[in-house]
């Protein structure tokens, strides 16, 4: 069996999620390749070694360039702050290696465009971490829409809100810098935009409004030194889909009480379905003639679920979704499938986000074809 060497850059929350997913994929699925956790890199050399040992990686590097140049690494998984995605991915592509990059793809549309073009020219497999799409319940929703169970789709109403930046005393971080991140739209909204396109289709035009509520934050926790904030805290947008449907999306990282509120309602001429990531094993549907919503519960009949549990109602979680995403990456690397968001698809999400920002600045409807 062919061996596939995994190289992971980053040891934060997402780095750990990736490490768990690769380990879980080996345990849960019969894979067409043999996965080897070849190397892990972090700028903190001691942390790199500590995490490599704990997570099962054979080698630790203090520099990401060394990981990319490591001949034992075939796939480069990038879980760093957003501004590092571009140089790391471009270096990996130049080395002829597959890239599994966290979202958003880049901090500018120009970078995203260069990344997708380079990947296409090099013919390397790429995937981007839109893991919520890999929920079996989202697969069911997509199938129901494709089968016409909701009739003609007429509207999408979506929101992705959390409260991790709600406290104005929360200190400045790389997420607060335009050159390094992109605000709530990039951090949370990109997931929602990707979901809208995945379920309803391409967006034709947008109109939007963004707002920075807390314009200054402490330089470090407890400091009286305040740094200016230029990224958006919340965004609201109207969408016109290419198929004629209309939509609204909103995203905020200031909304008290929400921890992972990626939610949407999709309405058609024959029914409505609703989903909330905080109850990720449920889908609510109301068809014409029903008096209210029916609750559909995840179970082993749905693709992906049975790999983790043989019984309905036993629940999947965030890390299982990441494992399903990694499984589809591996299947693609083995040449046996093409599911998941690649750099081309992630560029389309960045193009949509760029249109939303321009619409907010210029206070007008913006056609996606302008980019």
The angle that helices 13-28 and 318-333 make with each other, rounded to 10 degrees, is 70
pLDDT per position as a tens digit, 87-122: 999 999 999 999 999 999 999 999 999 999 999 999
Half-sphere exposure of 325 (CA within 13 A, CB side): 28
Selected residue with higher pLDDT from 146 and 338: 146
Contact 82, 180 (CB under 8 A): yes
In the prediction, which pLDDT does 174 show? 87
Percent of the chain scored above 90 by pLDDT? 95
Contact 99, 120 (CB under 8 A): no
Contact 124, 144 (CB under 8 A): no
Q: b/e map of 340-355 (b: 16 or more CB within 10 Å)? A: bbbbebbbbbbbbbbb
Q: Which two tokens stand for residue 44?
A: 């903190």
pLDDT per position as a tens digit, 323-367: 999 999 999 999 998 899 999 999 999 999 999 999 999 999 999
CATH classification of 3-131, choosing from 3.40.50.720, 3.20.20.70, 3.40.50.300, 3.30.56.10? 3.40.50.720
Chain mean position to CA 228: 27
Domain residue spans of the chain: 3-131, 135-312+342-370
Q: Measured in Å, how far apart are the chain's first and last C-alpha atoms?
A: 44
The domain 135-312+342-370: what is its CATH number? 3.30.360.10
């Amino acid at each position: 069996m062919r061996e596939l060497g995994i190289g992971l850059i980053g040891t934060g929350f997402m780095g750990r999620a990736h490490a768990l997913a690769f380990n879980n994929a080996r345990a849960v699925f019969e894979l067409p390749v043999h996965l080897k956790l070849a190397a892990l890199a972090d700028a903190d050399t001691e942390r790199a070694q500590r995490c490599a040992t704990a997570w099962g990686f054979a080698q630790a590097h203090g520099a990401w360039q060394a990981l990319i140049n490591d001949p034992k690494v075939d796939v480069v998984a990038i879980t760093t702050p957003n501004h590092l995605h571009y140089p790391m991915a471009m270096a990996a592509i130049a080395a002829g290696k597959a890239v599994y990059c966290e979202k958003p793809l880049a901090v500018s549309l120009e970078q995203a465009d260069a990344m997708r073009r380079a990947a296409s020219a090099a013919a390397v497999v790429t995937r981007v971490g839109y893991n919520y799409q890999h929920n079996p319940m989202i697969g069911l929703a997509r199938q129901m829409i494709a089968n016409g169970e909701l009739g003609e789709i007429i509207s999408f109403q979506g929101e992705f809100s959390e409260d991790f930046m709600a406290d104005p005393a929360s200190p400045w971080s790389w997420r607060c810098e335009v050159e390094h991140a992109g605000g709530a739209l990039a951090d949370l909204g990109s997931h929602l935009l990707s979901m809208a396109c995945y379920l309803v289709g391409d967006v034709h035009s947008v109109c939007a409004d963004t707002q920075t509520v807390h314009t200054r934050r402490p330089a470090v926790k407890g400091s009286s030194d305040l740094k200016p904030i230029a990224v958006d805290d919340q965004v609201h947008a109207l969408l016109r889909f290419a198929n004629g449907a209309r939509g609204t999306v909103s995203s905020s990282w200031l909304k008290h009480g929400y921890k992972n509120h990626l939610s949407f309602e999709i309405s058609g001429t024959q029914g409505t379905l609703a989903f909330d990531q905080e109850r990720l094993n449920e889908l609510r549907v109301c068809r014409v003639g029903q008096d209210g919503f029916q609750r559909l519960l995840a179970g082993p009949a749905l693709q992906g679920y049975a790999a983790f549990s043989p019984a309905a109602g036993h629940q999947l979680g965030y890390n299982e979704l990441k494992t399903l995403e990694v499984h589809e990456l591996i299947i693609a690397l083995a040449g046996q499938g093409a599911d998941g968001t690649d750099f081309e698809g992630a560029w389309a999400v960045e193009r949509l986000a760029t249109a939303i920002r321009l619409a907010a600045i210029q206070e007008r409807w913006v056609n996606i074809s302008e980019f």
